[in-house]
Amino acid sequence: MKNYENVVIFDHPLIRHKIAILRDERTSMKEFRELVEEITTLMTYESLKEGVPTTEVEVKTPLETCTQRIVKDNAIVIVPILRAGLGMVNGIHVLFPSAKVGHIGMYRNEETLEPCEYYCKLPQGIEDKLVLLVDPMLATGGSACDAINLLKRHGCKHIKFMAIIGAPEGVSKVAEAHPDVDIYVSTLDRCLNENGYILPGLGDAGDRLFGTK
């Protein structure tokens, strides 16, 4: 895969360790859900190193008053792509408990692999926020591209997209279609199979999170 300025692939031993357990077919639904949350928290920490709206406040310590920089109130909106993105929301809420949540519902047509949008509900004022769009799987990139297009149609200007596992085809597609969006992927897998599943991947993230298979 080409190097893209707007793509960060985390190569962190702790995240790799957790993803190894996530991939394992023997990992239970409960453990899977917990791991997705933990990985998301680690990814959020890394991906917010830059571009977070901050403000200065005065803080009085027991010794003196100092000026400190804090994250602006309500600066961040979390937007999961349903269903599997839902599994990542708590991992961000741990860090930003009052972040509002928008929802974009998309499923892939099993034959064409094209995304179909079936739901969209976004918080008012989202256009001025930093939007953290989340989905554990970035396969062909169709769902992420469409979700970003939808956010842009709603006026969003500052979008970061986080996926736990990415396929090279999908990462390239989103990076090229949306050079203004920061893309964070925990690990880059080999390729897609003939059904559009990521190899080695982890199977169907939604089914593993919600026990639907």
Residues noted as catalytic: 108, 112, 204, 207
Listed in sequence order, the residues at least 6 apart from 85 whose beta carbon sits closer than 8 Å to its beta carbon are: 79, 104, 133, 134, 135, 136
Site for ligand URA contains 87 (CB under 6 A)? no
* Residues in a beta bridge with 54: 71
3-state secondary structure of 154: coil
Site for ligand URA contains 205 (CB under 6 A)? yes
Q: Which residue is nearest to ligand PRP (CB)?
A: 206
HEC secondary structure over 33-59: HHHHHHHHHHHHHHHCCCCCCEEEEEE
In the complex, the residues that contact ligand PRP under the rule CB under 6 A are 81-84, 106-108, 113, 115, 135, 137-144, 170, 196, 204-206
Pick from ligand PRP, ligand URA, none: which does 133 bind, CB < 5 to 8 A by kind?
A: none
Nearest CB to ligand URA, comparing residues 104 and 156:
104
Length of the chain measured in residues: 213
2 burial (CB, 10 Å; 0-12 / 13-18 / 19+) is exposed
Pick from ligand URA, ligand PRP, none: which does 4 bind, CB < 5 to 8 A by kind?
A: none
Pick from ligand PRP, ligand URA, none: which does 87 bind, CB < 5 to 8 A by kind?
A: none
Site for ligand URA contains 139 (CB under 6 A)? yes
| Cis peptide, bond prior to residue 83, ω within 30 of zero | yes
Nearest CB to ligand URA, comparing residues 4 and 210:
210
Pick from ligand PRP, ligand URA, none: which does 91 bind, CB < 5 to 8 A by kind?
A: none
- What are the start-end ranges of the E strands in the chain? 7-9, 54-60, 65-71, 76-82, 100-101, 103-108, 115-121, 130-134, 137-138, 158-166, 182-188, 191-192, 198-199
Q: How many residues bind ligand URA (CB under 6 A)?
A: 10
Nearest CB to ligand PRP, comparing residues 139 and 156:
139
Tokens of 203: 């199977």
Least separation, in Å, of the C-beta of 98 and ligand PRP? 26
Applying CB under 6 A, the residues found at the interface with ligand URA are 84, 137, 139, 196-198, 201, 204-206
